[in-house]
Homo-oligomer: A and B are copies of this chain.
Amino acid sequence: MALLSKSCLYGLRTAIYCAHQSGNGYIPISEIAKELEIPADFLTKILQKLTRKKIMSSLRGVKGGIKLGKSSEKISLYDIVQAIDGETIFRKCFLDLEGCGEETPCPFHESWKSYRTDLGNMLKNTSLSYLIENRKYARLK
């Protein structure tokens, strides 16, 4: 098990890659797929989820491809995770016991809740531009 699905990882890495490209033009998905070693057809499908949510924008045809749908400061990792994997990981209890929740919390409830909230905030507070500006610390691929 992993926290994020493979689709989600692919989406994140693509978004980071696009944010990393200086120009404002469309980049063919095939090019990104090759660069990041992601199956191209699969990536196409994943990116559709992001374009539908305006996180990215796409264009068909000769000069077409994909690019960020807004400026990289305005896209957080949370946005991308939510668009692809949904909000489950930020909401669901990991024990998922019968009769659980706020009314009858198990002893684990509070620490788990804050942990989950932390994860959400951490991702909300990390924008693509932040990652790029500090990119000297790692190869962001």
Interface residues of A (CB under 8 A from B): 1-5, 8-9, 12-13, 16, 77, 85, 88-89, 92, 94-100, 104-109, 111-112, 115, 118-119, 122, 126, 130-131, 134-135, 137-141
Q: Show 5 residue pairs from A and B whose CB-CB distance is below 8 angstroms, ordered by the A residue.
A: A13-B97, A97-B139, A97-B140, A98-B139, A108-B131
Contact in complex: A99, B141 (CB < 8 Å):
yes
| In contact, A115 and B106 (Cβ under 8 angstroms) | no
Which residues does chain B contribute within 8 Å of A140, judged by CB atoms? 97, 106
Query: Given A94-B3, A97-B140, A104-B139: A122 and B126 within 8 A (CB)?
Result: no
Whether B107 lies near A130 (C-beta < 8 A) is: yes
A8 and B2 within 8 A (CB): no
On chain B, the residues within 8 Å of A108 by CB distance are: 77, 126, 131
B106 and A3 contacting across the interface, CB-CB below 8 Å: no
A94 adjacent to B4 (CB under 8 Å)? yes
B106 and A131 form a contact (CB under 8 A): yes
Measured between alpha carbons, how far is A126 from B110 in the docked complex, in Å?
A: 13
